[in-house]
Each structure stands twice: as C-alpha cells, then as structure tokens.
A and B are shown apart, each in its own frame.
Chain A
C-alpha cells in the first residue's frame, strides 16, 4: 500500500511570499494529483501529473518519479490561497480490489496573512 507524506502539516506566511508544499510517496505511481480543499469542505482538483512540471496561473506543480517526490509551489501568495492542499497518488497498476481510488496525504493547512 502506498504511503503518502506531506510537509509541512501547517504553514503560515505573509501575502506575497513564495510557498512550497512537499509530497513524498513510497510506491511507484502512474499519476499524482494536487487538490485544494476550501474551509467549507469542497475539493477542487488543481493538477494531475505523471512527469515533469505543470503550471496554472500562480501555481506550479513538479514531480520527480525517481525520487518519488512532488512539490506544489504558489508564487505571489494571496490570502485567497488559504486552504488545505492535498496530495493524492494513483496506483501504478489497476488491481480491481479496492485500489482504484486515490491514496491521499493528510493535507497541508496553508494560511496567507495580509
């Protein structure tokens, strides 16, 4: 079973700072997802990646398959970025035995202060 570790668990920063959230996993994967959970509980998918780097606005996600590590960066952070950021990994092989869903990290609680 894949173990997904995120760091830091909590992060408070000032508006404008460059933010990095890390995710490590233990078993080979085919895809890694970064998700954002708002205070009300709703979850939005930010990125899905299996190699390299993706960018969307001020968000950048990178993955290093060999090192089993991914990072989510936020440039020019803003208070509206305050949320829980969740890393989740998809299995390398579809086994059909309950492994079709994602394995989730516990999340990083980010607060951006004005």
Chain B
C-alpha cells in the first residue's frame, strides 16, 4: 500500500539533545513537507522540499534542519536551538509542489516530548 510513514509515533528526549524524526513515502511524490501542531493552534509549516537535494524554510524553521538526499525520505532534526520542541510533528507529501492545486497526503505524526 502506498503511503507515508513516520517513526517513531512517540519520542522522548532530554533537553539539549538533538533528535531526528523520520518520514518516508512510497507515493513517488516530488514535494514533501514538515508541519508542527501545538494545542489550540493550526498546523505551521517548518520546511518543505520540492525536489531531491533542495528544500526551503517555512514559517517556523528556526531550530530545525532537514535533508532530502532521496526522493522518498525527508528527515527532520529538532536541534537544541529549538526553544519549545515539545509538539506533534506531521509530515506530508504531494505529487508536485504548490498547495494551489495539489492534494497533500499526511503521515500519522510523531509526538515529541522533551523532558
């Protein structure tokens, strides 16, 4: 079955540690996205990538880093510079870039808690 997988579902880390969230898709989509969801707020875009080896900052990129070495993979690293990393992180993909006309498919999310 085609889809997006994120692992792990729950992740706990100590303050000051970097942590990498995994996102893999087998939909052959060119565009991939990382969003952050906090209680009472809408999802906010962290980073997106339109093509392999290219990515762009979203609205809240500070304290995060990404890579796109393969079409199917778009890992997100939450660095120690991120002031409030505890949140629910969602990965998404679409057949092409441009939220104008392309449906986005979402992964199940990773809930990160920093202790």
Contact = CB atoms under 8 A, between A and B. Distances in A.
A86 B42 contact: yes
B97 A98 contact: no
Give the bracket for the number of chain A residues in contact with chain B. Answer: 20 to 34
Interface string A21-36: 0000000011101010
A76 interface: no
A50 interface: yes
B41 interface: yes
Contacts of B35: 101, 104
Interface stretch (A11-19, A41-49, A52-60, A61-69): A41-49
Interface of B: 31, 33, 35, 40-45, 48, 50, 56-59, 61, 88, 90, 92, 97-109, 111
Given A43-B106, A100-B56, 11 more contacts: A31-B100, A33-B99, A33-B103, A42-B109, A45-B106, A98-B45, A98-B56, A98-B59, A101-B48, A104-B42, A107-B42
